[in-house]
Amino acid sequence: MSVNLFDQANELESAIRQSEEFTNLKEMYDAVNSDESAKGIFENFRNIQLSLQQKQMNGEEISQEEIEQAQKTAQLVQQHELIAKLMEAEQRMSMTVQELNKVIMKPLEELYGSMENNNEQ
């Protein structure tokens, strides 16, 4: 019996949208975006993160000044209750996605794992 993976992927998407992790993340995201102060701090933090990641990927040097700015912004973010809650919700959602990815990849890992075991014998 053949299974349509795309239908099941769409069901998984729907389940994710209805999950406690996602609904909590969305509530926290909306709360941060409704608060001008939190929104500004969060956007600044994201921009700094993206800029530093881009530099790393391009193999560019990150200056001490950029590191200090990132650390100061991270402290501001951690001290802001709404943003801290959003980041906690992001972390929980990320962990859920990692667990889902393990489940999704299990058949391939078993397949290739069994191939490696057969080659070792």
Q: Going from the N-terminus, what domains does the chain have, and what CATH number goes with each?
A: 3-89 (1.20.1500.10)
Calculate mean pLDDT across residues 69-84: 93
Calculate the alpha carbon distances from 49 to 20, 30, 70, 85 in Å.
Answer: 27, 20, 8, 18
Percent share of the chain, pLDDT over 90: 88
pLDDT band per the 50, 70, 90 thresholds, residue 67: very high
Kindly report, residue by residue over 14-45, the tens digit of the pLDDT: 999 999 999 999 999 999 999 999 999 999 99
Q: Is it the case that residue 1 has pLDDT exceeding 80?
A: no
Query: How large is the average pLDDT for residues 88-117?
Result: 92
CA distance 24 to 22: 5
Place of tokens 């560019």: 60
Tell if the pTM clears 0.75, that is, is over it: yes
**pLDDT recorded at residue 47:** 95
Q: Mean per-residue pLDDT for 52-80?
A: 93
